[in-house]
Chain A
Amino acid sequence: MKNKLLYIEDDKEISAWVSEDLTRRGYHVTCLTTGDRAPNHMEGIDLVILDIMLPGLDGFSIGQRLKKEYPVTPILMLSARTSIDDKLQGLHFADDYVTKPFHPDELAARVEVLLRRFGKMSPPLIQLSHLRIYLDQNHIVDTRSKKEIVLTPKQFQIFTYLLRHPNKILTKEQIYEAVWENPYIAGDKTLMVHIRHLCEKIEENPSQPQIIETIRGIGYRVKQ
């Protein structure tokens, strides 16, 4: 099933090629040139792409209104304005922010990440190297041996957190705070121990991990 996007942009040229590009990438795109009637089009929408400078109601007001009514629909702000004030104001309600002139690949990547983060695009399974992961069933199968890999709850939480942010480097503070829901204390080794055990279970060769990539000095990344 195609994900439905609502795209509000007043510049017809940009609107035309962005919606064309996103359609080619497999999304169903609804385009609006003003935000005044946006609430009428929210039925079944999975994500809103919103320009800030719009005729009539500006993007901030529309975004805030939409977020209030549809809190689980991610909003991606698209703007030609870049001052820090704008970013702060926008991010109060927006879930991500892309500045013009953006690269279509970047926009598409952010849309995908947001959809995944909000569970709008829960792929029934992820095929990653020799692993087949059923995210919603907490089920991981090694395709070579056809055996199930059993993870502890924490290991599974860490792994899914990385999978939900594909291609993004996550620092150990971010992972720890997302999984344990406590502030990370500098020097804590708990997370590293968990990741080591996780790698031992899922990696073919735990000393040279292929699935969970360690970025030295920064954090971890799962490439998809």
Chain B
Amino acid sequence: MRFRHSLLARYLLIIMVALILWPFVLPAYYIPSYFLDKDVQQKAQYIDTNKLKQMWHHEAAKLDRATPEQIDQKLHTLKDQYPLASMFWVDGAGKTKLVLSKQKNIPSQWTLENSIEFMNQSDGDPITFVSYIGRDQSNGFMVFQIPPSVTKLPTLSFIDDKFLAIYGFLVFGLFLFVSWLFFFKIRKRLVHLQTAMTETKENGIPEKIVVDKKDEISELGKAFNYMVDELIKSRQHEQEEEALRKQLIANISHDLRTPLTTIRGHAYSLQKEPLSSKGKDSLHLIENKVDLLSHLLENLLSYTLLSARKYTLQRKETDIIRFIRESMAGWYPVFEKEGFKVDVNLPEKAMIWNIDPQWFMRILDNLYQNVMRHAKSGRYVGVRIVDYEGKTAILIEDRGPGLDVTTDKKGAGIGLSIVSLMLQEMQLGWTITSSPKGTEIYLYEKK
């Protein structure tokens, strides 16, 4: 980024312009009135009294040996030039000649006394210049008087000059406005950037922003765009890896299940052959182990996918009573075959839970599977809706030896871990109470 493109440079420029222009603000106010207003020009010529004094002496000197008519004419000319001044002249005999003044106390015949009195009276107010006409004092003298007020500089007062006040406010306001505009634009772009960073597309990555300037914020925008690119890349990478992992898991599943299917098929074929009772026992064992292996495999894969959050949860309002009934309808023949007493006691009323039906089916399957495998000795499975600690709960109970008893059929752990993970994701709670007389599992909604 070059310095001239930076926001810093622009801000410094604003400050510099303000500082440079400030001394010209007042002159800028007066210059137009000086040129446009004649009155002001008129007034300006009285301000420098020394210059006036010189002018007066100079004019007087030029009148050497002039006739009284010439002196009169000159005075008229000067009066036209300086209308605010009073002028008169006195001849060598002390007689007042032409008086271009409204003043009353000018003596017609000058004596020493009234000369002194006149000088005393006009001590500083009015400002008085006296010049001898020509080089010879006997030619008389001429007097120039102006009131001191016209010689003063005009005062700067906002109270007196309303236009000056408005002008001041305008200049100040302009500076404020430019500064505000500068920061407002920065703020707008920052807010825009912030919005772009927080708003994400469906893939969870924010959209890139358009960078059209070359300053610091644009640099930030570029960095942000770079980050988005990196995110997209890593997301792609992740998806590829995920697809690979899923494929791998599916392949393992397939590769293990296919031989299992063959084993089971041949075991089934063997059953049709004449076998000794020992042979039949072995066959039964093989079949059981095939079952166990396939369940273990299924649970292992489910657990891997679930813990990696690869199953998508799709919760919807579901009538849980109906759901349990339909799930049990599928399991009933299995329990029946093993001689279980199936005790289903569900209310007639619908009970709505917000669950993913596929997941919940899996949970019930795992729980029934556990009953089948670990509580066969109890020959009992019960499903009821009960009140558990003030909550409506589904109770699944068996009369097996309890979960603490170690049996030769391992694998309950992972099955229950899946149940636990799935329940947690659906914000359902569960409690297991187990004793040697049986196991009770309560499922309920977390409030």
Point out residues on A near B: beta carbons under 8 Å: 11, 13-14, 17-18, 21, 53, 80-88, 99-104, 167-171, 173-174, 184, 186-187, 215-219
Contacts and interface: CB of A to CB of B under 8 A. Distances in A.
Interface stretch (B10-18, B172-180, B319-327, B438-446): B319-327
User: Which of A14, A80, A184 neighbours the largest number of chain B CB atoms within 10 Å of its CB?
Assistant: A80
A101 B321 CA distance: 31
Contacts of B328: 217-218
B203 to A, nearest CB: 19
A173 B326 CA distance: 9
Contact of B322 (A21, A87, A171): A171
B326 A174 contact: yes
A171 B321 contact: no
Contacts of B269: 17, 21
B349 A187 contact: yes
Contacts of A83: 249-250, 253, 301-302, 305, 311
B265 A186 contact: no
Given A18-B265, A83-B305, A217-B345, 6 more contacts: A13-B265, A14-B265, A82-B298, A86-B250, A99-B298, A100-B257
B350 to A, nearest CB: 4
Contacts of B264: 101-103
Interface string B254-265: 111110111111
A80 B262 CA distance: 12
Interface of B: 249-250, 253-258, 260-266, 268-269, 290, 294, 298, 301-302, 305, 311-312, 319, 321-322, 325-326, 328-330, 332-333, 342-346, 348-350, 358-359, 362, 383
B262 A11 contact: yes
Contacts, number: 116
B337 to A, nearest CB: 11
Given A83-B305, A84-B362, A215-B332, A13 B325 contact: no
Contacts of B250: 53, 81, 83, 86
Contact of B343 (A53, A167, A173, A217): A217
B54 to A, nearest CB: 109
B322 A173 contact: yes
Nearest to B326: A171
A101 B254 CA distance: 10
Given A84-B358, A173-B322, A14 B344 contact: no
A88 B301 contact: no
Contacts of B325: 171, 173, 217-219
Given A11-B258, A83-B301, A168 B329 contact: yes
A80 B258 contact: yes
Contact of A187 (B258, B332, B343, B348): B348
User: Which of A13, A21, A83, A103 neighbours the largest number of chain B CB atoms within 10 Å of its CB?
Assistant: A83
Contacts of A18: 265
Nearest to B358: A84
B253 A80 contact: yes
Contact of B329 (A88, A100, A218): A218
A58 B425 CA distance: 32
B311 A17 contact: no
Contacts of A168: 329
Contacts of A84: 311, 358-359, 362
A14 B329 contact: no
B391 to A, nearest CB: 20
Given A101-B263, A186-B321, A218-B328, A81 B346 contact: no
Contacts of A82: 253, 298, 301-302
B236 to A, nearest CB: 21
Contacts of B298: 82, 99
A186 B326 contact: no
19 contacts: A11-B262, A14-B262, A80-B254, A80-B255, A82-B253, A82-B298, A82-B302, A83-B311, A99-B294, A99-B298, A101-B260, A104-B268, A171-B326, A184-B322, A186-B350, A215-B332, A215-B342, A218-B344, A219-B325
